[in-house]
């Protein structure tokens, strides 16, 4: 890691030897030799990875070489070092290792005999899927664009929506072998400077062989790694990322990953969607109430069913209790085992649906659930009410917009089931209270996880206007508490 770098010299043979040393046994490295200048006396090298040359770059390179045809040999070195032939983004490098790193980023490198620098010539980069439609975080209204697997393209998608010179992009590399590009995106006067600095320090605090996805960075930088709840929000939507930087958040983009990380995160942000702000407040508020209720039942409904039917049947009306008793006649398993088996079966179907390709996965998830549920009821292995409870619980978990946040409830649901089957309603309350206490102790980069429901007075009770009830946009005039304290106002009426 602390190896001495080899400087680029005016001797092109030494530079070629240096590149071949760095890329020894790399058959996908292509080195093209050419003679340019007056009387074809000046040698040059073009180095690139095999699939990274495109037609536009070849046209630009052809024009460049044509320009060199009429330049005397003694002037070519000066043109390369000082003028870079007027090429845009033609970054000069003084060391072989720096030129190699740029080449591995997807660009081409030009060496010219007589010049002690190498030039980076922008190329198309590595193949990627391009900008497509987001297959998760579906919205009724708003953009359908999704992040790509290119960090540069993702940065451009955010800048396309926030066209401000105050939008800053801080790039660095992570991984001593992968050299993965990572970008921190924020608006200079809106994001807290201490937050930006702390995020950078955490992202660079570890030395790791390679980073192939943003999930690796998420696991290395979160404070409470043992918690099932994510402390960073992930998104595939550029408009969600743009909305976050306008709120004072920081966006982390990792090359090769179509998921951006939004920091800091709180429980309210996981239950919001982008079209909450594109629709009228009546619709947005109704949708949020449904999501909060769904999150509660996704965690508690199976446990609540066990607590009531096994320990506290007196709170049920007699007709309903008789209906439950009649439905369970002939079922050989205890209610707790019955619920546990059905929950595990639905989780298995969900995982199988994710892993199977395309439409087949959706078909297996729906048809498999119907067939297995009906067959289990017909065979008297489970009661119909348990199938309804488990299916409704799964439906509630699907209503949570963020998949990682929903997965936390899917895990903790089994803890609530165990406590309710053991201690009844008392165990149910212990489980729910324990989850709330745990969430109250979580922080995401010093922001309480239960924001804005804790200490709402710190921001003048403004954050509560964008919580379960979403006030009209004209009344949400202040940014959240994690934004720069001197730039909290985001909406005001123009003075006539």
The total number of residues written for the chain in this structure: 496
In the prediction, which pLDDT does 435 show? 96
Rounded to whole angstroms, the Cα distance separating 486 from 482 reads 11
pLDDT tens digits for range 330-362: 788 888 999 998 899 888 888 877 777 666 666
C-alpha torsion sign, points 462, 465, 471, 473? positive
Evaluate whether 136 touches 46 at the Cβ level (below 8 Å).
Answer: no
- Please report, for the chain, how many H helices and E strands are present, in that order: 16, 12
In the prediction, which pLDDT does 409 show? 94
On the 0-12 / 13-18 / 19+ scale of CB atoms within 10 A, 150 is buried
In the prediction, which pLDDT does 313 show? 85
DSSP string, 125-194: -S----S-B-SSS--SSS--B---S-HHHHHHHHHHH---TTEEEEEEEE-TTT-EEEEEEEETTTB-HH
In the prediction, which pLDDT does 283 show? 93
C-alpha torsion sign, points 216, 225, 449, 249? negative
In terms of Cα–Cα distance, which of 404, 383, 406 is closest to 299? 406
Evaluate whether 214 touches 260 at the Cβ level (below 8 Å).
Answer: yes
In the prediction, which pLDDT does 3 show? 61
The reported pTM is: 0.82
pLDDT tens digits for range 439-473: 999 999 989 999 889 877 778 788 889 999 999 98
- 358-378 and 335-355 are packed helices; what angle lies between their axes, rounded to 10 degrees? 160
pLDDT tens digits for range 223-253: 888 899 999 999 999 999 999 999 999 999 9
Low-confidence residues of the chain: pLDDT under 50: 1
**E strands, 297-449, in order:** 443-444, 447-448
- Which residues does residue 92 pair with via DSSP β-bridges, in sequence order? 119
Cα torsion for 450, 453, 457, 461, to the nearest 10°? Answer: 120
Query: Could you report how far apart the first and last alpha carbons of the chain are, in Å?
Result: 61
What kind and span of H or E run contains 262?
strand 260-263
Q: Which residue has the tokens 């009770």?
A: 461
Evaluate whether 12 touches 45 at the Cβ level (below 8 Å).
Answer: yes
């Amino acid at each position: 890691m602390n190896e001495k770098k080899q400087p680029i010299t005016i001797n092109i043979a030494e530079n070629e030897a240096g590149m071949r040393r760095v890329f020894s046994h790399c058959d996908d490295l292509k080195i093209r030799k050419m003679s340019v200048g007056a009387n074809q006396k000046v040698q040059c090298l073009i180095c690139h990875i095999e699939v990274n040359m495109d037609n536009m770059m070849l046209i630009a390179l052809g024009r460049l070489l044509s320009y060199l045809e009429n330049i005397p040999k003694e002037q070519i070195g000066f043109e390369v070092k000082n003028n870079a032939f007027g090429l845009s983004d033609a970054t000069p490098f003084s060391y072989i290792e720096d030129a190699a790193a740029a080449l591995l980023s997807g660009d081409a490198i030009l060496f010219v005999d007589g010049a002690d620098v190498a030039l980076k010539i922008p190329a198309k980069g590595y193949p990627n899927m391009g900008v497509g439609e987001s297959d998760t975080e579906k919205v009724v209204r708003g953009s359908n664009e999704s992040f790509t697997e290119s960090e540069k393209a993702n940065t451009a998608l955010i800048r396309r929506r926030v066209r401000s010179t105050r939008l800053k992009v801080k790039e660095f590399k992570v991984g001593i072998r992968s050299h993965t590009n990572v970008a921190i995106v924020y608006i200079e006067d809106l994001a807290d400077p201490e937050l930006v600095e702390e995020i950078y320090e955490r992202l660079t605090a570890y030395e790791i062989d390679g980073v192939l996805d943003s999930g690796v960075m998420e696991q290395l930088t979160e404070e409470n790694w043992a918690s099932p709840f994510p402390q960073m929000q992930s998104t595939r939507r550029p408009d969600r990322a743009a909305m976050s930087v306008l709120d004072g958040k920081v966006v982390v983009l990792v090359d090769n990953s179509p998921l951006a990380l939004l920091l800091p995160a709180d429980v309210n942000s996981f239950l919001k969607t982008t079209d909450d702000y594109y629709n009228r407040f009546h619709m947005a508020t109704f949708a949020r109430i449904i999501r909060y209720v769904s999150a509660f039942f996704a965690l508690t409904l199976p446990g609540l069913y066990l607590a009531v039917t096994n320990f506290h049947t007196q709170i049920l009306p007699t007709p309903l209790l008789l209906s439950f008793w009649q439905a369970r006649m002939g079922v050989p398993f205890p209610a707790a085992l019955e619920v546990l088996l059905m929950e595990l079966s639905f989780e298995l179907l969900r995982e199988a649906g994710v892993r199977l390709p395309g439409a087949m996965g959706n078909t297996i998830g729906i048809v498999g659930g119907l067939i297995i549920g009906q067959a289990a009821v017909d065979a008297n292995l489970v009661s119909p009410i348990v199938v309804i409870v488990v299916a409704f619980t799964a439906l509630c978990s699907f209503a949570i917009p963020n998949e990682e946040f929903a997965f936390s409830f899917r895990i903790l649901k089994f803890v609530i089931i165990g406590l309710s089957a053991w201690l009844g309603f008392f165990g149910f309350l212990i489980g729910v209270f324990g989850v709330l206490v745990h969430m109250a102790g979580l922080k995401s980069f010093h922001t309480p996880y239960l924001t804005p429901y804790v200490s709402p007075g710190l921001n003048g009770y403004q954050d509560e206007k964008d919580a379960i009830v979403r006030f009209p946009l004209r009344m949400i005039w202040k940014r959240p508490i994690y934004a720069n304290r001197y730039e909290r106002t985001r909406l005001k009426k123009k003075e006539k």
